[in-house]
Amino acid sequence: MAGLVPFNRKNKELSTNTGIGDFYNLLDDFFSNDWPFRRTLSYDTFKVDVEDNGKEYIIEAEMPGVDKKDINLQLNDGKLTISITRDESNETQKKNYIHKERRYNSMSRSIYLEDSKPDAIKAKLENGVLKIIVPKEEKPNNSITIDVE
């Protein structure tokens, strides 16, 4: 079964655990000087669904507004890492914004898929959703019967 690899939110790594940490972030935003305009966007992440249908894993990640050239997928020792790297251009820094919520930053998610078949993974970005199909490798049957003398 696939499991999401937990990370520490304050290190800008992504966590699947939502709860009291989000509440504290909301309180921090409320008591800041520019609240309601500032959000903790540096801790936001893209949402991921992981399905195991027996023969393959199907991962769907919400990525609205992300270009496929900004997405990097890597499989290393059974850990699939989906990362986005977007740089804020100097042109947008020159503009005179009154209010700006959209950011360009980097984020990543890692999913442990212990029995993935690396050479057959397929990924497609369509309508803001990244769909990754990871076939499973057949596990060899390592059980044997031992005769007792």
- The CATH number of residue 111's host domain is 2.60.40.790
pLDDT for 61: 95
Domain range for 33 is 3-135
pLDDT for 138: 82
Residue 121 lies in a domain: yes
Residue 144 lies in a domain: no
End-to-end Cα, the chain, rounded Å = 39
Confidence of residue 1 (pLDDT cuts 50, 70, 90): very low
Residue 141 lies in a domain: no
Residue 109 lies in a domain: yes
pLDDT at 76 over 50: yes
Residue 113 lies in a domain: yes
pLDDT at 91 over 70: no
Judged on CB neighbours under 10 Å (0-12, 13-18, 19+), 130 is buried
Residue 149 lies in a domain: no
Which residue did the predictor score with more confidence, 38 or 139?
139
In whole angstroms, what separates CA 86 from the centre of its chain? 14
pLDDT for 9: 42
Confidence of residue 80 (pLDDT cuts 50, 70, 90): very high
Residue 148 lies in a domain: no
Q: How many domains does the chain have?
A: 1
Residue 77 lies in a domain: yes
